[in-house]
Structure 1
Amino acid sequence: MLDGAVRRQLDPILNRLGAALAGRGVSADAITICGLCLGLAAAALIAWQEYVAGAVLILSSRLCDGLDGAVARASRKTDFGGFLDIVLDFAFYGAIPLAFITADPAMNGLAGGFLLFAFYVNGSSFLAFAVIAAKRALSTEIRGAKSIYFTTGLAEATETIAFFLACCLFPGWFPALAAIFAAICLYTAVSRIVLARLTFRDGQ
């Protein structure tokens, strides 16, 4: 929901940094992989209950997630780069809830499991929509130039990062925050199913 507004503020800065990195020969794929490594390091810190340090690395990881696209736009966009970005993003989004479960299984296990279920459903609705949209040669740049069709929703990257940071700052609230955010993700998935029903009617 907030990604569009955030992109308008950050894209000019990221594009300048991306052009500078591309000029020095840094590849978008390398930044994508670096972002995952930082995200996994954040997950490890959270699992060890080093929540503030984990939050710092979450922000660093998501900076890489914004920079890889900027570098690709300044150099060369590839289908593999778009594929890698999506897969590693999903790995990051799964690693952080798993880290909170690991940090305190008794307190966080049920809520964390519910959250991972909601992420799974929401992610599958996003990817399935993109697949059918590609089949029908649909395109959109509502979230900027992307390798696949991006549908908007109540729970997008900005909301997810804010949720992760809130959990790091208030780890004792994780069960409640996770349950609320899981419900938001499921609502987003349902709204995407409704959109698909309206968009992919046979014969239209």
Structure 2
Amino acid sequence: MLDAAMRKLIDPALNRIGAGLARRGVSADSVTAVGLALGLLSAVVIALGAPFLALVPLLASRLADGLDGAIARATRKTDFGGYFDIVSDFVFYGAVPMAFVWADPAQNGAAGAFLLTSFYANGASFLGFAILAEKRKMETSARGVKSLYFTGGLLEGTETIGFFVALCLWPAWFAPLAWAFGALCFFTAASRVLLARKVFPPAD
């Protein structure tokens, strides 16, 4: 819901930094890899019981996630780069909830399983829509120039990062926050399915 507005705020700065990194020979794929490594490091720190400290690598990983696209725009976008970026994002989004479950399985297990299932459903609705949009040659730049067609929704990347930050600040609230966020993820997935039903109607 907030991604389009956030892109307008952060893209100018990211594009300047990304262009500077590109001039120094830094590749978009290498920054994607660094971002993934930082995201996984944050998950390890959470699993070890220090979620507040995990905020540093977590936020740094999201900065890298923004910079890889900026570098690609300053040089050359590739299909593999877009693919690697979305795979890395999904791995990161799954690793953080998993880490909270590992940190306290008895307290967080059920809520974590519900949350991860909602991520799975939401991701499937997003990627399925992107495949059909590509088939129809649809394009949008509302959420920045992407390799895939990004549909809007109640919960997007901005909300998810905010949610992860909240979990790191208040880890004792993981279960109720996960139940609530997971329910909203399912709502987002359902709304995207309904949108797909409208945009991609059955053939007569």
TM-score range (shorter-chain normalised) is over 0.9
- 1:45-194 alignment, distance < 5 Å: 45-194=45-194
Structure-2 separation of matches of 1:87 and 1:8: 24
Q: TM-score, structure 1 length as denominator?
A: 0.98
Ranges in structure 2 where 5+ consecutive residues have no aligned partner: none
Q: Match for 2:179: what amino acid?
A: A
Structure-2 separation of matches of 1:10 and 1:138: 25
Note the C-alpha offset of 1:203. 4.2
Match of 1:33 in 2: 33
Number of aligned pairs? Answer: 204
Note the C-alpha offset of 1:202. 3.1
Structure-1 separation of matches of 2:76 and 2:132: 26
Structure-2 separation of matches of 1:154 and 1:102: 28
1:152-204 Cα deviation digits (max 9, x unpaired): 11110010000001000000000000011001110100000010000001348
Percent identical across equivalent pairs?
59
Match of 1:7 in 2: 7
Find runs of 4+ consecutive structure 1 residues off by over 3 angstroms. none
Q: Match for 1:159: what amino acid?
A: E
Q: TM-score, structure 2 length as denominator?
A: 0.98
Structure-2 separation of matches of 1:142 and 1:4: 5
